[in-house]
Amino acid sequence: MNAVSMTATPAQAQAGSMGFRRVLGAYLMEARSECLRYMRNPGFMLPITFLPTLLYLLFAIVMNRSAGADVGCYLLVSYSVFGVMSPGLFGFGVSLALERDGGLLIYKRALPMPPGAYLLGKMLMAMLVAPMVVLLLLAMGLGMDHVAITAGQVGLLLLMGVLGVLPFCALGMLMGTLIKGQAAPGMLNLIYLPMSFLSGLWVPINQLPKTLQQIAPIWPSYHLHELGLAALGMAHGGMSGHLLALLGFTVAFFVIAARRLRRYG
């Protein structure tokens, strides 16, 4: 039995006997350190904020300025979802793969801290960064494209950013347990970019081939996109199915990833 396969190390047992205030403090400190670490890393923040804003500027504002109000709202939602996916996939997936390879997870297990604080810190970091990306796109849409949306719809889009990143955190966590650190960026891009296209983020879903339209619901980004369109009054029908689908993706990915972390570290 080694440090990875042990069900409870002495440090974890000590963390389990900590009082509620100390446990809460450990979670908050870990979350704070993760957020500061990524905010101070331009190699993480710049691509996550630069790519969706650049694409939105090019395709929504420059090329489709006179396309109409509905097109402007559609593209705002599309690139918001595209921006929300990135912190979860790359902030969780790439960093977890690299830190597993470097032995950081084994080191974390030896510390007198709750075992879930490390993962919760990454999740909170993604939940903070995702609405920042949406806020940048909203500022561009309102200031440069003059998109006509209400304050309530702005709030719904920001809420979509905060909560919508969770399925992609879970998917990133799963991928981080499956791939090596050096291969993580390339492998995640092979998921990120095709999934964006196949979910109707770049081309409206009804303009894709019928076969691709039929398989679109297997992507979590499709359901998040539909919720974003509903927030702006551009989708009809019940949204409960999309919410349940996103919840199912989140739980399934997280459970599988947690089992792999317990088994393989």
5 domain-assigned: no
Cα(136)–Cα(104) distance, integer angstroms: 33
Cα(34)–Cα(109) distance, integer angstroms: 16
59 domain-assigned: yes
Closest by alpha carbon to 166, among 240, 91, 239, 217?
A: 91
121 domain-assigned: yes
166 domain-assigned: yes
Range of the domain at 72: 12-264
34 domain-assigned: yes
Q: Are 169 and 123 in contact (CB under 8 A)?
A: yes
Cα(62)–Cα(74) distance, integer angstroms: 15
**pLDDT tens for each residue of the chain, 265 residues long:** 444 444 444 444 444 556 778 877 777 887 788 778 777 777 778 888 888 999 999 888 888 766 667 888 999 999 999 999 999 998 888 888 888 887 777 777 777 667 677 788 888 889 999 999 999 999 999 988 888 899 999 999 999 999 999 999 999 999 998 988 888 889 999 999 999 999 999 888 889 999 999 999 999 999 999 999 999 988 767 789 999 999 999 999 999 998 988 887 6
6 domain-assigned: no
Residue-wise DSSP of 48-95: HHHHHHHHHIIIIIISSTTS-HHHHHHHHHHHHHHHHHHIIIIIIIIH
3 domain-assigned: no
2 domain-assigned: no
Total domain count, the chain: 1
